[in-house]
Amino acid sequence: MKRLAALALAAALLLCGCGPSSYSDIHPHLDSSTITHEHNGELKASNYTELRGAILHFVEAGLEEGTVTLTGYDGNAENDLRTACSEVTNNEPLGAYGVEYMSYNCVRVLANYEASVSITYSRSREELDRIKSVSGAADFRTELLSTLRDFGSELAAEVSYYVEESYDAAKIVAGYMESDPFVSLCDPSIEVNVYPSSGLSRIIEVKFTYPYPVETLRERQNALEDAIGGMLADTAVEEDGAAETVRGLVRALCERCELVDEPEYDYYDPEGMGDVRNAYGALVDGAAASEGYALALSALCGELGIETRRVNGRWNGAEHSWNLVELDGKWYHVDASLCDRYANESYLFRTDEEVAGELKWSPQGLPQTAEEPYSWENEPVFSDGGADTENNG
């Protein structure tokens, strides 16, 4: 970029008021595709809306300099140019996100004006090109999940109708961390910035910092995928019986994994990587707390198209996690870690009423279970092992 020329024009910017200003005004996004072009490639405008759109067009094209010919202009050309520079820089999403400042000059040429603009960017062309255009909140969530699963360092997404509750990136990421086995391999720090600070059209920038090298995380992700594939290959999948399939998965999970209680986390997790709380600990390391069991079962069922929801609550006063599993359109509680603790299947496919005295959770956002208890064709038998009656969830 022509940094020296831009810096030389910075003083003019400060004097004309084209630097950063208040974001309190809300302006509609301008469609620069309607701007007309002179035969020599320069843009022309006859009113303020067209002038502002022309300047936005320069930004969208990544130009450092541009000229607009004002023909039959119906306003104060110099004042409007100053205002347009400021509004594109501060109120347009792309300007607020990627423009450091603008400087300008307006010259009378016969009956017309020539408005020239110099633009200094705060982002590289590559950064601007990486901005994703999302059609709505669902699309934004998909982009976030894709970034997390690839352990990407940042996401910049432009939305046309911003509602804070629908685009709360930190909350969305927290939900994925709790529910997605391939995302919860580590807990990244997150920074969220929104450009501009007001208006319907915004650019949401989300930055992630991971506690471990991305190469390490990808190796662990691959190891988890291999472990899931191996377990599914060794577990009978009943084509006409999702319940029997889930039952087999829980049994295999309990055989593979050792239940770890809260006081033992440090022993099993000397490097602080949190494996006992995720599917990697359960399926690769073979040791997990209830969170790891729940995420592991979610991963296994997800590969088979069996719907699950993770439930975070309490068991005997301690923090505890388990799953809701859908069978033939009805939901049931499945607590793999308690099946392992007590070495039986009494915690498979239970209704809200059946577990209410022992498990506590908030039903908000979760489906209600079936009203009637699940009926097995054959009486379930888990193992011949004795029950572990400790109450440290």
Q: What's the pLDDT score for residue 386?
A: 40
Q: Three-state DSSP class for 141?
A: helix
Q: What's the pLDDT score for residue 236?
A: 77
Rounded Cα distance, 48 and 50, in Å = 5
Among 133-147, 207-221, 251-265, 379-393, where is mean pLDDT lowest?
A: 379-393
In a domain, 366, yes or no: no
Indicate which CATH number applies to the domain containing 283.
3.10.620
Among 46-55, 157-166, 367-376, 380-389, where is mean pLDDT lowest?
A: 380-389
The tens digit of pLDDT for each residue in 155-172 reads 999 999 999 999 999 999
Q: Tell me, yes or no, whether 224 and 300 share the same domain.
A: yes
Q: Tell me, yes or no, whether 105 and 45 share the same domain.
A: yes
Q: Tell me, yes or no, whether 184 and 243 share the same domain.
A: no
pLDDT level of residue 270 (50, 70, 90 thresholds): low
Domain count, the chain: 3
Which letter does DSSP use for residue 211 in this model? S
66 Cβ contact partners less than 8 Å away, ≥ 6 residues apart: 42, 43, 54, 55, 57, 58, 116, 117, 119
Q: Tell me, yes or no, whether 234 and 323 share the same domain.
A: yes
Rounded Cα distance, 150 and 298, in Å = 19
pLDDT at residue 199 greater than cutoff 90: yes
Q: What's the pLDDT score for residue 215?
A: 95
Q: What percent of the chain has pLDDT over 90?
A: 72
Among 55-64, 185-194, 271-280, where is mean pLDDT lowest?
A: 271-280
**Average confidence score pLDDT of the chain:** 85
Token readout for 150 is 């690839």
In a domain, 384, yes or no: no
Rounded Cα distance, 59 and 128, in Å = 10
pTM here?
Answer: 0.78
Q: Determine the structural domain holding residue 290 and report its residue range.
A: 214-361
Q: How many CA atoms lie within 13 A of 216 on its CB side?
A: 7
pLDDT level of residue 220 (50, 70, 90 thresholds): very high
Q: What is the mean pLDDT of residues 53-81?
A: 94
Q: Tell me, yes or no, whether 223 and 344 share the same domain.
A: yes
Q: What's the pLDDT score for residue 385?
A: 41
pLDDT level of residue 263 (50, 70, 90 thresholds): low
- Helix spans in 116-165 (H): 125-129, 137-149
Higher per-residue confidence, 199 vs 236? 199
Q: Tell me, yes or no, whether 237 and 262 share the same domain.
A: yes
The residue type of 19 is G
How are strands ordered across the β-sheet holding 99-109? 36-37, 43-45, 65-70, 112-121, 99-109
